[in-house]
Structure 1
Amino acid sequence: MKFISWNVNGLRAVMKKNFMDIFQQLDADFFCLQETKLQAEQIQMELPGYTQYWNYAEKKGYSGTAIFAKEPAEKVFYGIGQDVHDQEGRVITLQYPQFYLVTCYTPNSQNELKRLDYRMEWEDAFVSYLDELKKDRPVILCGDLNVAHQEIDLKNWKTNQNNAGFTMEEREKFTALLDHGYVDTFRHFYPDLTGAYSWWSYRFNARKNNAGWRIDYFVVSSDLVDHLTSASIHAEILGSDHCPIELQLSFE
């Protein structure tokens, strides 16, 4: 079973950059998107064989998530059930017999960390939401979680220690998530691999020089570890400042 997650940084823009070719090439059972930057009815996508699930931000051209699934979900939930956190279209949860699939676009702490306090509130609310799901069945979380967890998860860690995405506060929240019984699947397979990134700034030839950050993740509850078969980062796929990431599991 193949899962893909991709922050497209504007789906309408990526549609002009061979999105459909990439979608068909990857041939995922579940294709999760973040930062779609859409409102309802602003795009019509023909995806035969897939059920489409969309969550839109109230603010136009901002945030937003989607999941395209070959198998329709038993149930679907939008947001995390708290109005203060559910205005920006950041979370979709699909329920299946064997797991919950959650795609998430975590709030960015922004320049000068002006949204860090809100980010901390979000993190606590979100892990509580995941923990409630996990009581019922295993959880697969994917998305742009807007944090590089360890020093090996970004190229220039020394100069970014007080910048959004690599503050001690954000990194500690990711550690706390793992401590709640979750596994960073890429590090499960590649605990010490360096140079593996999923996002690059558009400035300073960052992608050409692979001066990136790994801020896109598949995280699973620990009861799924035995079902993991592979995790990968598709750095060769262009179209966004992020690249797609992949997880494969087997339930046979």
Structure 2
Amino acid sequence: MKVISLNVNGIEQAAERGFFDWMVRQDPDVVCLQDLQVDERSLNDSVYFPPEYNAYFFDSLNNPDEAGVAIYCKSMPKAIMTGMGFEECDFEGRYIQADFDKVSVGSFLTPHGSNHEQVLQDHKYRFMEGFKNHLIKTRRKRREFIFCGTANVARSPIDVSSWFVNQRNSGFLPEERKWINEIFNELEYVDAFRQVNKQDKQYTWWPDYERAWKLDEGGRLDYQITTPGLKHVIQGGNVYKAQRFSDHAPLIMEYDI
């Protein structure tokens, strides 16, 4: 099972940069997209609906021009679920899930947060707490899950450039790192990419200017988080950097499912 995740930072600009042509050539089983920044009803061009895939969207009710997530599935899922049961997720289009016979795949988007506006950082913290509670409940279910998306948190110093300085910035604050490492340690979820790649500078995001991209100054903010039962079926993974579709890069993982 091949799963691709990408924060498109606007699905329309990603399409203009050739994302959907690239996606179809990659021949994945499931594609999880985040930060669509558009209402599904305005996507009138057939480029957004490749005939090889079933497409499902979850828009923001508060502001269709912000957030939004989607899942593209080669096989028809048994069910589609949206939301996690709390306001910061459900009213802002931040989670959609496709259920298959043996596994469920979800696409999630954590808010950015802010270094300067505490109200935005508090909003991020509320989402993080709600997501963590959802993951706690998920552990009680008798099926496997893959949560794909943008956590907007780098896990450790090898996951962000200039890590010492960035400890004061949203995305690498001590409270944020504590949260994500609790998911992988106390809750025993699996950081799928790190199961197959332990190297540093495996970034999935760069500030949206050319200098950061050329110097490879960014952070690993995007994850595929699996339940413990999938740990031994993770076959491989990579961050695709040959072509830019947004300020994030596609995370491609292979599972023996």
> Do the structures match in fold with TM over 0.5?
yes
Following superposition, the deviation at residue 204 of structure 1 comes to 6.3
Following superposition, the deviation at residue 139 of structure 1 comes to 1.2
Runs of at least 5 residues in structure 2 that lack an aligned partner in the other structure? none
Secondary structure of residue in 2 paired with 1:141: strand
Whole-Å Cα distance in 2 between the matches of residues 23 and 53 of structure 1? 16
Whole-Å Cα distance in 1 between the matches of residues 100 and 188 of structure 2? 20
Residue correspondence of structure 1 range 7-156 to structure 2 within 5 A: 7-44=7-44, 45-58=48-61, 59-112=63-116, 114=118, 115-136=120-141, 137-156=143-162
Residue correspondence of structure 1 range 153-168 to structure 2 within 5 A: 153-168=159-174
Following superposition, the deviation at residue 84 of structure 1 comes to 4.5
Runs of at least 5 residues in structure 1 that lack an aligned partner in the other structure? none
Whole-Å Cα distance in 2 between the matches of residues 100 and 133 of structure 1? 11
Following superposition, the deviation at residue 129 of structure 1 comes to 1.4
**Contact 2:202 2:239 (C-alpha < 8 Å) held by counterparts:** yes
For residues 145-190 of structure 1, give each alpha carbon's deviation from its aligned partner in whole angstroms, at most 9, with x where no partner exists.
Answer: 1000100001111111111100011110001111202011111112
How many percent of aligned residue pairs carry the same amino acid?
Answer: 29
State the match for 2:190 in structure 1.
183
Q: Does 1:198 align with 2:204?
A: yes
**Contact 2:88 2:126 (C-alpha < 8 Å) held by counterparts:** no
Structure-2-length-normalised TM-score? 0.93
Change (3 A) 1:238 1:204: closer
**Contact 1:186 1:232 (C-alpha < 8 Å) held by counterparts:** yes
Structure-1-length-normalised TM-score? 0.94
User: What code does the residue aligned with 1:118 have?
Assistant: H
Whole-Å Cα distance in 2 between the matches of residues 23 and 84 of structure 1? 30
For residues 97-137 of structure 1, give each alpha carbon's deviation from its aligned partner in whole angstroms, at most 9, with x where no partner exists.
Answer: 21121110111112325222222222221122123233221
